[in-house]
Amino acid sequence: LVPRMQAHGESIFVTMARLAIEHGALNLGQGFPDDPAPEAVAEAARRAIAQGHNQYPPARGIPELRRAIAQHQGRYGLELDPDRHVMVTAGATGALAASVLALVEPGDEVVVIEPYYDAYPALVDLAGGVRRTVPLRQPDLALDVEALRASVGPRTRLLLLNTPNNPMGKVYSRAELAAIAEVAIAHDVVVVSDEVYEHMTFDGHEHTPVAALPGMWERTITISSAGKTFSVTGWKVGWATGPDELVEAVAHVAQWLTFTGGAPFQPALAEALDRVDELVAPMMDSLRHRRGLLLDGLTGAGLVPRTPEGSYFVVADAAPLGVADAHEWCLRLPQERGVAAVPVSAFCDAPEAVATLARFAFCKSEESIREGCRRLAG
């Protein structure tokens, strides 16, 4: 293994899922839903297989899906040409990897806001880039705009943004996105915006793609995925959208990574995206309810949870339970309590600031959430 990848050991999700299986624990750690895919979407994929959509799809994705993705971005006021501005990838991960590898030269700097999704630092290292992390302020999670300005220099090539954010559940405000835009424009930085939880926002918080801000379309690669929106994380279909040259760069690299993704999922997801509001509404009603259950259950168990504005994760402080190191606690939890969670330190360069925080997923069944919280309280 090349030295720059040695620091990136087993993903925390794999570790915690393995411990959950080993000890028969409830997995509130890894973010995959217990919900089934909407039946119409599953049926459309079965139909696509029966109809012979089983060979390599076109490199950029089938035209129907590109059309549906372009049309979907219209809800944010963005006008996309499906032939020039859309690339279908092997999950959001495929789009993130292709974006970073396409745009970062060894030694280039990449700004990453932390807590970050764990793939970001690994991808920056894969490209030989140098990451500059900007912390979200604790406990309010506001973006520290001064720290952001200070992190950008002549070698900064990219900024990786994630809204709604995993793991903290933060939805960036328009003012924060405007500050990011100002910095990106002033320093000619490309923004890679990971928006896989775009349909999962609560309490009136609205998702805004940074690409919709003035001057940002031309310097933003927007990434999303069908996995979270339609409860099909195992289908691994994602997409990147943006201006011609940026999408061309992503497509150029993606052809050498995975070439294409799974063919029969594409027509199914084209149909699904066309009906996204109708398909997502029941899931969101139920997620809202399960978020409440988890927040109450964690509070009842003596933790102090933060109410997330988006995503399907709650981050809670375990310090009141006498926990000083949530990483060590999360390693013990599956055996001692029969529950798996994920320490927030796994998403940070500076773990001290989040040492006692753990992430719990509420995309799980009501029964798992109730029982998990009972076990934690036990």
Binding partner of 13, given ligand PMP, ligand GLN, none, CB within 5-8 angstroms per partner class: ligand GLN
Structure tokens at 186: 């002033």
Long-range contacts of 212-217 (CB under 8 A, 24+ apart): 212/76, 212/77, 212/78, 213/174, 213/177, 213/178, 213/181, 214/181, 215/181, 215/185, 216/181, 216/184, 216/185, 216/191, 217/78, 217/242, 217/243
Q: How far is the CB of 164 from ligand PMP (least distance, A)?
A: 8
Q: Does 33 bind ligand GLN (CB under 6 A)?
A: no
Dihedral, CA of residue 244, residue 249, residue 250 and residue 255, to nearest 10: 120
Choices 56-64, 222-230, 249-257, 287-295; region in contact with ligand PMP by CB under 6 A? 222-230
Site for ligand PMP in 191-210 (CB under 6 A): 194, 196
Q: Which of 285, 330, 313, 320 is nearest to 299 (CA)?
A: 320
Structure tokens at 294: 């988890």
Q: How far is the CB of 334 from ligand GLN (least distance, A)?
A: 15
Site string for ligand GLN, 114-153 (x = CB under 6 A): ----------------------------------------
> Which H/E stretch holds residue 47?
helix 39-50
Is the Cβ–Cβ distance between 110 and 130 less than 8 Å? Answer: yes
CA distances from 313 to 33, 131, 183, 307, 309 (A): 11, 25, 29, 9, 10
Q: At what angle do helices 265-274 and 39-50 cross, to 10 degrees?
A: 140
* Residue 30 or 163 with smaller CB distance to ligand GLN: 30
Is the Cβ–Cβ distance between 338 and 26 less than 8 Å? Answer: yes
Q: How far is the CB of 372 from ligand PMP (least distance, A)?
A: 20
Binding partner of 194, given ligand GLN, ligand PMP, none, CB within 5-8 angstroms per partner class: ligand PMP
Q: Does 239 bind ligand PMP (CB under 6 A)?
A: no
* Residue 219 or 327 with smaller CB distance to ligand GLN: 327
Q: Does 31 bind ligand GLN (CB under 6 A)?
A: yes
Q: Does 365 bind ligand GLN (CB under 6 A)?
A: no
CA 199 – CA 202 distance, rounded (Å): 10
Is the Cβ–Cβ distance between 195 and 212 less than 8 Å? Answer: no
Site for ligand PMP in 117-176 (CB under 6 A): 117, 162, 166
- Residue that is written with structure tokens 């939880």 in the block: 197
* Residue 269 or 303 with smaller CB distance to ligand PMP: 269
* Residue 313 or 329 with smaller CB distance to ligand PMP: 313
Structure tokens at 240: 């990147």
- Partners of 99 in the β-ladder: none
Is the Cβ–Cβ distance between 90 and 113 less than 8 Å? Answer: no
Q: At what angle do helices 244-257 and 91-103 cross, to 10 degrees?
A: 110
Site for ligand GLN in 164-193 (CB under 6 A): 166
Site string for ligand PMP, 330-359 (x = CB under 6 A): ------------------------------
Q: Does 11 bind ligand GLN (CB under 6 A)?
A: yes
Helical ranges in 158-275 per DSSP H: 174-186, 226-229, 244-257, 265-274
Q: Does 13 bind ligand GLN (CB under 6 A)?
A: yes
Q: Does 30 bind ligand PMP (CB under 6 A)?
A: no
Binding partner of 125, given ligand GLN, ligand PMP, none, CB within 5-8 angstroms per partner class: none
* Residue 161 or 301 with smaller CB distance to ligand PMP: 161
Q: How far is the CB of 186 from ligand GLN (least distance, A)?
A: 32
Contact residues toward ligand GLN (CB under 6 A) are 11, 13, 30-31, 166
Contact residues toward ligand PMP (CB under 6 A) are 31, 91-93, 117, 162, 166, 194, 196, 225, 227-228, 233, 236, 238
